[in-house]
Chain A
Amino acid sequence: MKRHLLEAADLDRADATLVLDTAAQIEQALAGREVKKLPTLRGRTVVNLFYEDSTRTRISFELAAKRLSADVINFSAKGSSVSKGESLKDTALTLEAMGSDAVVVRHGSSGAPHRLANWVRGSVVNAGDGTHEHPTQALLDAYTIRQRLGRLDGVRVTIVGDVLHSRVARSNVGLLHTLGAEVTLVAPPTLLPVGVGSWPAAVTYDLDAVLPKSDVVMMLRVQAERMNASFFPSAREYSRRYGLDGRRMGALPDDAIVMHPGPMNRGMEIAADVADSVRSTIVEQVANGVSVRMAVLYLLLGGAPQ
């Protein structure tokens, strides 16, 4: 493993598989136990540095670190020195002086974790940067797929929605390809980046055509403000062409699953009955997130210090 987890490309197939296997062992080791805590990272300090509000991701990382007995410091940009204009570099040097072993960073600017990695000695884990990547989300998605379908190699994954602005999509395309899945992106052309043709994924504008050939459908959140920037004419038209409703779910193969990284816009990209169906893995994804993040922290921090 590399020292940092900044993007899906930091993981080759062996590393990615190691993370998933480790997460599975941790999940199994803790299953049914009263004491859901391991002493592994006792005495290590993990800083959650969140420049964007994301309670679910922060809590998931916090729980993962605490279950490994690390000391956790939550450093949210709001109400801190950051909101008073402190630069990312100065914040990094402060964390460094406090002796943090890992920084889990969520930031609105693409590449901010890469910058941070230049300024701290510990490990940096990207918990979502701008419209770039969110690698632990992709890991937990891959984990969930493998858990449900028993494999990743050759699994046909269709990712639907605002690919242009989605860090989840970028990380999933990279990681799932690394792990042998076949990824298809579906979106209106306005929500696909120029250059998407260079990605290891197929691209189509026709959701109905790919659903019967999908083992996994991953719905991305579509933010309403995109409508005002003319990415699509109206929420209704978007939902009609790219939303997953009960009728479309019926076109999926029998074992296919429906995923969503959350938070969902019910009625927009995903209908309520789909989100709550037995095909939906949305709740498992949240639970799996903790195991996968424990595995990442263990693998990055457990070893010999640099």
Chain B
Amino acid sequence: MATSYLIKGARPLGGDPADILVKDGRIAAIGESLSATGAAVVEAGGLVALPGLVDLHTHLREPGREDAETVETGSRAAALGGFTAVHAMANTDPVADTAGVVEQVWRLGQEAGLVDVVPVGAVTVGLTGERLAELGAMADSAARVRVFSDDGSCVSDPALMRRALEYVKAFDGVVAQHAEEPRLTAGAQMHEGDRSARLGLTGWPAAAEEAIIARDVLLAEHVGARLHVCHVSTAGSVEILRWAKSRGVQVTAEVTPHHLLLTDACAESYDPVFKVNPPLRTDADVEALRAGLADGTIDAVGTDHAPHAVEDKESEWAQARPGMLGLEQALSVVIETMVEPGRLDWAGVADRMSVRPAAIGRLTGLGDRAHGRPLAPGEPANLVLVDPASRAVVDPAALASRSRNSPYAGRELPGRVVATFLRGVPTVLDGKAVR
């Protein structure tokens, strides 16, 4: 395989066309009419070049549910979606609550070699919300964990949450909170509102998310710690975050692609492919989330890619497991909901899908292994080439994920990832994974 690539005519961050020379894992040059002997040429006329995308929120299911996804299949899906780094959530079996498990996941990621798999450590032992896991040991391990989350469960005990926020300051960590007051969501199936009333599905009130976010930003302010809020889903949450940021609280937040595009109307089919936690909300919430992502109140897009085996989704709504695929369509959904309506330019996409998530995960200062760096000579050659004009209908059978629970099945979306480079090596070329 070639060790240098000459990318011809791509538009860095959607700007004027330029050639990008990639050599020895780094961006060697960006300019007009570059030439390089021995370099493989990638024709990229009309394509937009972005820094490799970084996901703060991926479920890779390994170890434990390799029938739904593995580190390798999830990595391939990520590369096809334009990602070069993904944070692997801790709710595996066994739970990633020790240095041993996070190192195992990290090594599996390196062996797959398609993206950098960055393990997330559990906040509490077994995700039970009772006592802190060995956060420091995970931080010091080969996996170098900086993001800690009980995602899937909320750290609902306020005293425990306070201690976690304080404790991770020692190694510049961040607690990523799944904001859901469990006493308000017992048995909850979908957004609580007009549709849940009619469909007879137990409601998941917006207040159950907002109450936790409000509490946690106050705690973060009080102890001077970093807080990250996973999958923000309501207009009220955006307001609370805006208020907290205006006060200088060190809070960041992510929104999923599906919360940017879909609403609780999807539940009317009772098809559990649309069951997700937090649930799909209303049109007004979707609008607030788009506005929040546009103005930076929401820092990042996090996919919450959640593969599930067929038997966990082809069932009654209440029996199905929550979650939906996201890695392979995330960029397309952002183009559809943010770029095409003019709410985010390509630099904004790079910021929300690469620069800021990398910064939250503390990946920007890792030298050769850094992510979320600018497209500039000397930087690691993590980049993605996307054809924004191409539109295609999503076919779940064609996805690289081992699972098929895509909420976008049959939906036409814009944006095709043509190539992805991880440290100068293509993981995707001509829209296909190299392996």
Contacts and interface: CB of A to CB of B under 8 A. Distances in A.
A212 interface: no
B196 interface: yes
Given A194-B205, A195-B195, A170 B315 contact: no
Interface in B311-332: 311, 314-319
A82 to B, nearest CB: 12
B36 interface: no
Nearest to A196: B197
A216 B189 CA distance: 33
Contact of A110 (B192, B193, B205, B317): B317
B197 A88 contact: no
A156 interface: no
A111 B271 CA distance: 9
B270 A131 contact: no
Contacts of B199: 110-111, 132
A28 interface: no
Interface in A120-141: 129-133
A156 B183 CA distance: 38
Contacts of B270: 110-112, 114-115
Contact of B200 (A129, A194, A197): A129
B203 interface: yes
Which of A88, A107, A114, A115 is most buried by chain B, counting CB atoms within 10 A of its CB? A115
A89 B196 CA distance: 24
A196 B189 CA distance: 17
A293 interface: no
A130 B316 CA distance: 11
A162 B82 CA distance: 51
Nearest to B311: A87
B198 interface: yes
A80 interface: no
Contacts of A89: 314-315
Given A110-B270, A114-B269, A193-B203, A199 B315 contact: no
Interface string B180-199: 00000000010011111111
B197 A110 contact: no
B200 A170 contact: yes
Interface in A34-80: none
B41 interface: no
Interface string B277-314: 00000000000000000000000000000000001001
A48 B335 CA distance: 49
Nearest to B193: A195
A53 to B, nearest CB: 18
B197 A198 contact: yes
A109 interface: yes
A166 to B, nearest CB: 9
A132 B318 CA distance: 12
Contacts of A177: none
Given A87-B314, A110-B189, 15 more contacts: A89-B315, A110-B317, A111-B200, A111-B317, A112-B316, A115-B271, A115-B317, A131-B201, A131-B202, A194-B193, A194-B197, A195-B192, A195-B193, A195-B203, A196-B197
14 contacts: A88-B315, A109-B316, A110-B199, A111-B200, A111-B201, A111-B317, A112-B316, A114-B269, A131-B200, A194-B203, A194-B205, A195-B194, A195-B198, A198-B194
Interface of A: 87-89, 107-112, 114-115, 129-133, 167, 170, 193-199
For the complex of A and B, 7 pairs with smallest distance between CB atoms: A111-B270, A132-B200, A195-B197, A193-B197, A109-B316, A110-B200, A195-B194
